[in-house]
Amino acid sequence: MLSDSVTKTRRIAEQLFEELYDPAFLIDPGAGCFVGANRAACAFLGYGPDELRELTPADIHPHEIPRLDAFLETVRRNQRWSTDELACRTKAGALVPAQVRASLVTLDDKAYILAIVRDRREEQLAELGRSIRKLTHDLRNTMVSSRLMGDRLRKHEDPIVQRSAELIIRSVDRAVHMCQEALLAGSAREQKPSRERFPLSDAVAELTAAIGPEEVADARLETVGEDVVLDADFDQFFRVLLNLVRNALAAGATRLVIAGNRDDATVVIDVQDDGPGIPARVKGDLFRDKTLVPDHGSTGLGLTIAWELVHNHGGVLTLVQTGPQGTHFRITLPA
């Protein structure tokens, strides 16, 4: 009778383990391997139950083995629930931030470690969103002060100072507007373009005044087909060119050419430079979010932003060619 009761209790425990919402693992501390994992654990890591039994905790946390060993030792020593932050590597190779809670349990007179994992990806994204909103709020307030200074400079009697003040004011207004949109929307998603007609030369003139390539990098910026007229959001198109040109200057380009062409269906803007080219290891991820370009100390967001802005116009941003002789990007917009 007692045996039947033990068997029933064990079945209930196994069912509870299997139906836990969070990923759960049963670890044999002596053998250092997994002896059980529930459905949530298999889905979380992408392994099947049999595959997990062939693995050890070190296979899931290969980059934090000393910390993992210390955590498991703490659980064995204290024999009660302990918690630590340990990123888990999935079968696909992705590292997932997680909180791991573990305790020593006894089954059939043998000690095991029961570990329950909580996926922290959504929590980290929420924390990042809050940080961005705080930063955006403070940045907007700082730029409002800069605009007031620009207003004062605009009253200067020197026409060159007045022109510089106009540029400062437009740049600050553009940045304040982007901060305001991010605060209102809770994200940095680009807004629908506010279209107007303007010649390419106007955008290039603003670009030249904003970055002064001759001053910052001893570079030369040339324009071909500058009388081509675009139907686009001026500020957004300016940001596209700004990101492409700044990337080229940061890479060491000394000559840049912006060429415009138009037919009945499309407007094509080619941006070419004589820089060293884009490293092969990042070419496939150019327009993905948070692409890193370690050689230039860049976050890689510039190309992502440029791609999204062009896409919002119904256009396409493509990499035509890159190599030791330079890089060529093409912007294609509906006419």
Give the residue from 110, 104, 109 showing the smallest Cα distance to 78: 104
* Whether residues 103 and 126 fall in one domain: no
Phi then psi dihedrals of residue 326, to 5 deg: 135, -175
Among the residues of 197-295, which ranges form H helices?
200-211, 213-217, 234-251, 280-283
**What is the per-residue pLDDT for 10?**
60
Boundary-marking domain end, from 119, 145, 165: 119
> Domain range spanning residue 146?
121-189
CATH number of the CATH domain containing 263 = 3.30.565.10
User: What digits encode the pLDDT tens for the residues 8-30?
Assistant: 556 655 777 777 888 999 999 88
Residues 139 and 169 in one domain: yes
pLDDT in tens, 176-209: 777 766 655 545 555 788 899 999 999 998 888 7
- Residue 308 vs residues 107, 173, 178, 193, 206: alpha-carbon distances, Å: 55, 21, 15, 11, 21
- Domain boundary among the residues 154, 189, 224 is at 189
Length of the chain measured in residues: 335
pLDDT of residue 182: 63
Looking at residue 291, what is its pLDDT?
38
The residue with tokens 């929420």 is 126
Q: Specify the 3-state DSSP secondary structure of 28.
A: strand
Question: 200-211 vs 234-251: helix axis angle to the nearest 10?
Answer: 50
Q: Are residues 198 and 331 in the same domain?
A: yes
What per-residue confidence (pLDDT) applies to 2?
40
SS3 314: coil
246 shares a domain with 182: no
Rounded CA separation 286/297 (Å): 15
Backbone φ, ψ for residue 239 (5° rounding): -65, -35
Could you say which of 172, 189, 206 is where a domain stops? 189
| Domain co-membership, 159 together with 281 | no
Q: How many domains does the chain have?
A: 3
Tell me phi and psi for residue 181, to 5 degrees.
-65, -40
30 and 94 co-located in one domain: yes
Q: Are residues 151 and 90 in the same domain?
A: no
Do 72 and 126 fall within a single domain? no
85: domain CATH number is: 3.30.450.20
pLDDT tens track of the chain, all 335 residues? 445 554 655 665 577 777 788 899 999 988 888 988 898 999 999 998 889 888 889 998 888 888 888 999 999 898 889 999 988 999 988 888 999 999 998 887 888 999 999 998 888 777 777 777 666 666 766 676 677 677 778 788 888 888 888 877 877 777 777 776 665 554 555 578 889 999 999 999 888 877 765 555 578 889 998 889 999 999 899 989 988 998 888 888 999 999 999 988 899 999 999 999 988 777 767 776 543 334 444 445 678 888 989 999 999 999 999 999 999 999 999 97
98 and 173 fall within a common domain:
no
Please name the residues in contact with 306: beta carbons below 8 A apart, sequence gap of 6 or more. Answer: 239, 240, 243, 244, 317
